[in-house]
Amino acid sequence: MSKFLKKSTLTIGGAMLVIGVAQSAAAQQYNLGREALPEEVAAWDIDVRPDGKGLPVGSGDVYTGEEIWIDKCASCHGDFAEGSGRWPVLAGGIDTLDSERPVKTIGSYWPYLSTVYDYVNRAMPFGNAQSLTDDEVYALTAYILYSNDIVGGEFTLTNDNFLDVQMPNAGNFYPDDRVEVEMPLFSVQACMSDCKPSVEITMLAAVVDVTPEAKTDAVVEEAAAEPVAVEEVAVVEVAALDMALVAAGEGAFRKCKSCHQVGDSARNRTGPILNNIVGNPAGGVEGFRYSSPMTEAADAGLLWTSEELTAFLTDPRGYMRGTKMTFRGVRKEEDIAAIIEYLKSFEAQ
């Protein structure tokens, strides 16, 4: 837009910005408006391109970005960029693009880091756009990268190393070649009759398992006749739960539910499910991508005892520098004890 504004006419009385050479010529013809002033052009000329053109001089680190994020972004996008309500999810979604419901986030989908900087700088925070300084935008961009496991917790983003950051999905974008490749295929005269000498069935719906099929009585009887192997399960003595504390823990756990789930239907979200965590090894949830510090602690034999969980929940970042869990910590000791007791109630899940 700014490239046109350099040859544009700005209509003052009509509250309309006339952009482009053709419009400028029309404005001159009808004696409307005036040439845009250099400072007016500069106010619009804020775009940042994939090659880095337009980047201002500046820098911002992950932890500064987190503080700004909590203050200005978390109310809509969640504490860890997991989204809140109908506001967009900005982190996660890795390896989902080939699924039926892909999660398109900055980490899983966006090809250029410049788009992140440009959008935050141009349009955020919602309702107070362009209120951030250049360094604040750098810091927020660094935190978003960290939330997507693209950089570590000690990372500082600057105009000098900006182009060194490689977005995970950048290689899956390519120039739009539909005019050369696809349009010729659909521009020929369509065949309307006798287009194929014969029709050949290449696959049946039943074969690809898309047709419901009821079991016959014979199949049911055969399945019922098969012996069922019963595994021996060791019976472990479990200390009785303090149900009043469990109830209090359920309430205190609400601040954790935006990232963690428990129960029979629990799934990994921004954080792993927390069933069966108390007293068990760290980093043990299958399918969840832990941070490097958590993986290293797990390899070193960390067990989530009540004492270790208490220390972690009190100050996650102080306990484990570089952890993905950037939550500031639970302030009240009684809330921590209640949360741990609540998690114990899911040990058998």
- In tens, the pLDDT along 3-58 reads 333 333 343 333 344 444 455 555 557 888 889 999 999 889 999 999 999 999 99
CA 146 to chain centre: 11
Q: Side by side, which strands form the sheet with 34-35?
A: 16-18, 9-11, 34-35
> Rounded distance, CA 151 to CA 165, Å?
8
Q: How long is the chain? A: 349
Residue-range domain boundaries for the chain: 2-44, 59-172, 243-344
Segments of the chain with pLDDT less than 70: 1-28, 205-239, 258, 326, 348-349
Q: Kindly report the pTM of this predicted structure.
A: 0.53
Class of domain 59-172: mainly alpha
What pLDDT is attached to residue 348?
A: 54
Topology agreement, domain 59-172 and domain 243-344: yes
**Yes or no: domain 243-344 corresponds to CATH 1.10.150.20:** no
**Angle at 270 (CA atoms; ends 268, 275), nearest 5 degrees:** 40
In sequence order, what are the beta bridge partners of 156?
Answer: 61
> Rounded distance, CA 325 to CA 291, Å?
9
Are 322 and 293 in contact by the 8 Å Cβ rule? The answer is: yes
Query: At CB < 8 A and 24+ separation, what contacts does 261-267 make?
Result: 262/343, 262/346, 262/349, 263/346, 263/349, 264/349, 266/349
